[in-house]
Amino acid sequence: MNNFCDTYNVSRETFLKLDHYQKSLIEWQRKFNLVSNNSIEDVWKRHFEDSAQLFELIPPTAKKLLDIGSGAGFPGMVIAIMAAERTPYLKITLIDSILKKTLYLNHVKEITGLSNVNIVNSRVENLSKQKFDVITARAVTSLKDLISYGYPLISKNGICIFPKGRSYESELLAAKKYWNFDLNTVQSKTSENGKILIISNMTKKGER
Tell me the C-alpha distance between 201 and 147, whole Å: 11
Tell me the C-alpha distance between 206 and 104, whole Å: 42
DSSP tally for the chain: helices H, then strands E = 9, 7
pLDDT per position as a tens digit, 76-111: 999 999 999 999 999 999 999 999 999 999 999 999
Burial of 206 (0-12, 13-18, 19+ CB in 10 A): exposed
pLDDT per position as a tens digit, 124-135: 989 877 899 999
pLDDT over 70, % of the chain: 98
pLDDT, position 4 = 85
Q: How confident is the model at residue 208 (pLDDT cuts 50, 70, 90)?
A: low
Least confident of 10-19, 26-35, 170-179, 184-193: 26-35
Mean pLDDT of 156-164: 95
pLDDT, position 207 = 67
Mean pLDDT of 39-54: 85
Tell me the C-alpha distance between 182 and 83, whole Å: 26
Q: Which residue has the higher pLDDT, 14 or 3?
A: 14
Q: Which domains does the chain have, with CATH numbers?
A: 2-204 (3.40.50.150)
* Contact present, 164 and 194 (Cβ < 8 Å): yes
Phi, psi torsion values for 180, nearest 5 degrees: -100, 140
Q: How confident is the model at residue 2 (pLDDT cuts 50, 70, 90)?
A: low
Q: How confident is the model at residue 38 (pLDDT cuts 50, 70, 90)?
A: confident
**Residues near 61 by beta carbon (within 8 Å), at least 6 away in sequence:** 133
DSSP assignment string, 146-170: HHHHHTTTEEEEEEEEEEE-TTHHH
C-alpha dist (Å) from residue 153 to 142, 156, 158 = 17, 10, 9
pLDDT, position 100 = 93
Residue 74 confidence (pLDDT) above 90:
yes
pLDDT, position 167 = 87
C-alpha dist (Å) from residue 50 to 53, 151, 189, 194, 197 = 6, 24, 7, 10, 14
Residue 177 confidence (pLDDT) above 80:
yes
Phi-psi region of 66 (alpha: psi -120 to 50; beta: other; left: phi over 0): beta
Tell me the C-alpha distance between 104 and 116, whole Å: 17
